[in-house]
Structure 1
Amino acid sequence: MSDESVISLRGVRAELGSRPVLRGIDLTVRRGQVVALLGANGSGKSTAVRTIIGQVPVTAGEIELFGTPRRRFRDWARVGYVPQRTTAAGGVPATVTEVVSSGRLSRARFGVLRKADHEAVRRALGLVGMADRAKDSVNALSGGQHQRVLIARALAAEPELLIMDEPMAGVDLASQEVLAETLRGQVAAGTTVLLVLHELGPLEPLIDRAVVLRDGCVLHDGPPPEAVGQHALPGHDHVHPHAPAGAEPIRTGLLS
């Protein structure tokens, strides 16, 4: 893992409407790292990711991608982005292959896919276990399968940096395990990953660092919280099932 910074946010502020959502965020992701962005709903996780890819304007601070100020960054083929699933369907009738192929357009000259592009699309579908559904309409897929297709679309571009916004949300366990395995392969190949997660779940073993946001500020930046599953969020009040009646919830202190 090198010291080269792939994502750098310094003092980043952003508003939605006129409401401040990010209140001065510092975040650095170095090459080869897998960083999870955690926090309660409304803490600013998705907004932080959307400022990085340019979907939400920043009102203050600096963002760099691969050492280049984001406003001058043009090499988007190096970045794969997986949005939250709810925003991606759009009801457009398209086959699985068509959706995944759109992930190659950033690399294709004049929008014409060549042999190498088609091979990358097939490879990406294989990685997420959807090769057998290549000709199906995406509208016929389950939530977990649809999510796998969105991930394949991002992987088809063979990005150096993968940014995923709640890739596990509403995904069945079988798909979660496929996604964790897919991601493990990407990380082993040197891909840098920034994930927005509600909980660590099956991805926990892959995560080098957790950054916890609260009310648009960084509350914790370091090793992932110890607990598992729903208790992975620091500050999650947890009364142990065997605790005596009236026991105080155990507070881990960060979000409580």
Structure 2
Amino acid sequence: MDTPEATRGGEPVIELRQVSAELGARPVLRGIDLRVGRREVVALLGANGSGKSTAIRTIVGQVPVTGGEIRLFGTPRRRFRQWSRVGYVPQRTTASSGVPATVTEVVSAGRLARTRFGPLRRADREAVHHALEQVGMAQHAGDPVEALSGGQHQRVLIARALAAEPELLIMDEPMAGVDLASQEVLARTLRAQVGAGSSVLLVLHELGPLEPLIDRAVVLRDGCVLHDGPPPEAVGQHALPGHDHVHPHDPAPRPLRSGLLS
């Protein structure tokens, strides 16, 4: 495994130490280490089934760990209570989940940790409006979420996470199934968040428009960390360190060190 770069100054906002986890008695994470520093953007990469989403879900408490320790902002996760500091965008879901709601109502749910489930104050309404502006959905504030496209759904979910004004954003495949325009909106949004001091951990299948923002890439294979360091130059089936691939049309076969996803 490549040696990780040092995280940016001070206590890391996320730290996993030898974390293991199982799903249905099947080992999925096998003692992984992972750190995200302040104002750092870390991409979690790997093939399907490598443990990326499970790692994210252990951090937010959706999957119990069977070994090791997770810390958020220096506090063991089991004792962490300041969830308003964390914005989470889950994988492959919709904004509505079958419940009739407007875009504003869904995004307002991102303020619940701050309002303690009380009524929205002026500052809360302003935060919701700002989050919608960030993702280019302010003009749809009163629309029912059932009428949105897939890319618009994803923007609303991201706005819900941003409405909490988090110090840390955790996103599970935010680019999956969305159009290029929405991907570019997300890239601009994350650039602004990092500029304002946020840290970001996100699962990606490919770096795409986010590539210039990524400080480090952590690549998983079979529940283990295979690479922790500079992002690969390209991402795809044959584009990460650790995959030796020979192009059949090369005049003289030569191994190309160019992939981790396969």
Determine which of 208, 219, 228 is the counterpart of 1:212.
Answer: 219
| Cα pair 2:236 2:261 within 8 Å, conserved | no
- Deviates most, 75-84 or 225-234: 225-234
Give me the whole-angstrom Cα distance separating, in 2, the residues matched to 1:87 and 1:131: 18
CA shift, 1:96, in A, is: 0.5
Q: Normalising to structure 2: TM-score of the pair?
A: 0.91
| Cα pair 1:2 1:32 within 8 Å, conserved | no
Per-residue CA distance 1:175-219 (angstroms, 9 max, x = gap)? 000110011000111100000000111000000000000000000
Determine which of 66, 78, 81 is the counterpart of 2:73.
Answer: 66
Structure 1: gaps (5+ residues): none
- Percent identity, please: 81
The answer on 1:28 being equivalent to 2:20 is no
Per-residue CA distance 1:2-58 (angstroms, 9 max, x = gap)? 232100100100000000000001111111110000000000000000000000000
| 1:192 counterpart residue number | 199
Matched positions, count? 255
Give me the whole-angstrom Cα distance separating, in 2, the residues matched to 1:120 and 1:169: 26
The answer on 1:128 being equivalent to 2:155 is no
Give me the whole-angstrom Cα distance separating, in 2, the residues matched to 1:239 and 1:120: 52
CA shift, 1:92, in A, is: 1.4
Determine which of 18, 25, 33 is the counterpart of 2:25.
Answer: 18
Structure 2: gaps (5+ residues): 1-7
Determine which of 76, 85, 96 is the counterpart of 2:92.
Answer: 85
| 1:97 counterpart residue number | 104
Give me the whole-angstrom Cα distance separating, in 2, the residues matched to 1:154 and 1:133: 17
RMSD: 2.1
Would the alpha carbon gap of residues 135 and 240 (structure 1) be closer, same or farther in structure 2, given more than 3 Å must change? farther
Would the alpha carbon gap of residues 109 and 177 (structure 1) be closer, same or farther in structure 2, given more than 3 Å must change? same
Determine which of 178, 183, 188 is the counterpart of 2:185.
Answer: 178
| Cα pair 1:199 1:232 within 8 Å, conserved | no
What secondary structure does 1:11 align onto?
strand
| 1:252 counterpart residue number | 258
